[in-house]
């Protein structure tokens, strides 16, 4: 971990990199991604409604700026627009198989 030292005028001499914050952001993004792209055909029929709700909420979160998705991407040092494009492509491939519970 690098330590930040500030001068009196507020400029940083060294960069602070919080590995734990970045790891948390990556974990949050991975979970949202997993929920957004889950193939409902691979889920037991009795659980599909629950997974459909998770999928829908994850997609809404990733595609919206309202609930901090860009913030978590910045913290994880990833391009949120690239993730959105990749999600769109993944969902297009799933489209014939998407079945709302």
pLDDT tens per residue across span 67-97: 799 999 999 999 999 999 999 999 988 876 5
* 45 occurs within a structural domain: yes
* 7 occurs within a structural domain: no
* 76 occurs within a structural domain: yes
Domain with 79 in it: 19-97
Judge whether residue 25 has pLDDT over 80: yes
pTM for the model stands at: 0.73
Helix, strand, or coil here: 45?
helix
* 26 occurs within a structural domain: yes
- Report the number of distinct structural domains present in the chain: 1
* 5 occurs within a structural domain: no
The tens digit of pLDDT for each residue in 32-57 reads 999 999 988 888 989 899 999 999 99
* 11 occurs within a structural domain: no
* 47 occurs within a structural domain: yes
* 3 occurs within a structural domain: no
41: nearest Cα among 32, 31, 51: 51
Note the helical H segments in the chain: 19-37, 48-63, 69-76, 80-94
Dihedral sign of CA atoms 18, 21, 79, 69 in order: negative
Environment class of residue 91 by beta-carbon count within 10 Å: exposed (0-12), middle (13-18) or buried (19+)? Answer: middle
Work out the widest C-alpha separation in the chain, in whole angstroms. Answer: 62
Distance (Å) of CA 44 to CA 7, 61, 77, 91, 94:
58, 25, 35, 20, 17
């Amino acid at each position: 971990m690098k330590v930040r030292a500030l001068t009196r005028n507020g400029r940083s001499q060294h960069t602070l990199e919080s590995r734990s914050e970045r790891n948390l952001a990556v974990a949050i993004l991975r979970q949202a991604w997993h929920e957004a792209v889950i193939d409902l055909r691979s889920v037991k029929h009795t659980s599909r409604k629950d997974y459909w709700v998770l999928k829908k909420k994850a997609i809404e979160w990733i595609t919206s700026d309202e609930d901090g998705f860009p913030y978590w991407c910045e913290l994880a040092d990833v391009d949120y627009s690239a993730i959105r494009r990749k999600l769109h492509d993944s969902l297009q491939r799933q489209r014939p198989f998407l079945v709302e519970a």
